[in-house]
Amino acid sequence: MTVPLRATAAAVDAAGWGPLVHVAETGSTNADLVAAARAGDTSPRVLIADHQTAGRGRLDRRWVDEPGRSLLMSVRLPAASPDVAVAASAAVALAARAAAASLCPDATLLVKWPNDIVTDDGRKLGGVLAEYVDTAGGCVVVGVGINVAALGVARSRIDPGGVTPASLVELGGSGTVAELRDRLAAATVSGLAARVAEVTTGICPVDELERHSATVGRRVRVELPGGRVVVGRAVGLDRDGALLCVGDDGGRHRVAVGDVVHLRPVDRGADPDAAG
């Protein structure tokens, strides 16, 4: 049995993406909306599950949740090209960051490139994953997973990369877990709706991303496809959201796809486990 998400349903209707689809359990909310799109339904849609049995994050990492203790939401929007997937991912991350910050005013929340929502001390609150679906007309499906309450499972199962998790409750969010989840989802939907005109044309909200970036200005270790590694400083974002880095060798690098580890200033990249 699902707990009604009244504020979220109202926000979805106001955005013109209704009605909200809310299920107790599914394999993956992203996979469900992608499958429906490939079957011909590319209309705007918002799907929330209380529990996922096959949730996935970037690099096919497993997302572990417990029923009702996380926001597990996917949004499907029209997309004329794959560029929209990058812009939509950034917009959802920013909307979710702002929504979570409004519920936890004493916490400083940032976006770690490319799509994680983190605290200023490096704990991970959630993440975003976007997929472009190449169908007639095209669409993008963006999923967001955010810890509303701490999970009872071992931390090593939550994030195989060893990043310490955070939750809205731990960060000072007030109200019941159900109330926090509803308010978080509603504010995220409303924040995305306010950005949707630019997003669906593929315009990435770079300026806003840089203002709330946990990565720009940091020493980083970037693991690139093919096993190549860049160690240096993240200096900014390109207009399409790609990360711009200056390597320790003086070379300039534009990273469109990669996995980023934040390094302490004294680190030289040899020990990523020591990074925040």
Examine the pLDDT at 66 and tell me if it is beyond 70: yes
**What is the pLDDT at residue 248?**
96
Domain 216-274 of CATH type 3.40.50.261:
no
Cβ neighbour number for residue 235 with a 10 Å cutoff? 14
**What is the pLDDT at residue 49?**
97
| Predicted confidence (pLDDT) per residue in 79-100, tens digit | 988 888 899 999 999 999 999 9
Distance CA 189, CA 260 (A): 27
Measured torsion, CA atoms of residues 160, 103, 52, 222, in degrees rounded to the nearest 10: -30
24-62: string of b/e by CB count within 10 Å (b at 16+)?
A: eebebbbbbbbebbeeeebebbbbbbbbbeebbbeeeee
**What is the pLDDT at residue 137?**
82
| Predicted confidence (pLDDT) per residue in 35-62, tens digit | 999 999 999 999 999 999 975 655 455 6
Distance CA 201, CA 198 (A): 5
The encoded tokens of residue 177 equal 């877990």
Examine the pLDDT at 22 and tell me if it is beyond 80: yes
Q: Where in the chain is the domain with CATH 3.30.930.10?
A: 6-209
**pLDDT band at residue 156 under the 50/70/90 scheme:** very low
Ramachandran class of 66: left when φ > 0, alpha when ψ lies in -120 to 50, beta otherwise:
beta
Q: Where in the chain is the domain with CATH 2.30.30.100?
A: 216-274
**pLDDT band at residue 198 under the 50/70/90 scheme:** confident
State the average pLDDT over residues 208-230.
95
Indicate the pairing of strand 229-237 with strand 219-223: antiparallel
Angle between helix 83-103 and 177-199 (nearest 10)? 140
**What is the pLDDT at residue 17?**
97
Topology of domain 6-209, CATH: BirA Bifunctional Protein; domain 2 (3.30.930)
- Whole-model pTM? 0.89
State the average pLDDT over residues 4-33.
96
Higher-scoring residue by pLDDT: 264, 117: 117
Examine the pLDDT at 194 and tell me if it is beyond 70: yes
Measured torsion, CA atoms of residues 90, 93, 98, 100, in degrees rounded to the nearest 10: 180
**pLDDT band at residue 199 under the 50/70/90 scheme:** confident
Q: Which residues does 197 contact at the CB level (< 8 Å), separation at least 6?
A: none
* Mean of all residue pLDDT scores within the chain: 89
Examine the pLDDT at 2 and tell me if it is beyond 90: no
**What is the pLDDT at residue 56?**
62
Distance CA 107, CA 179 (A): 19
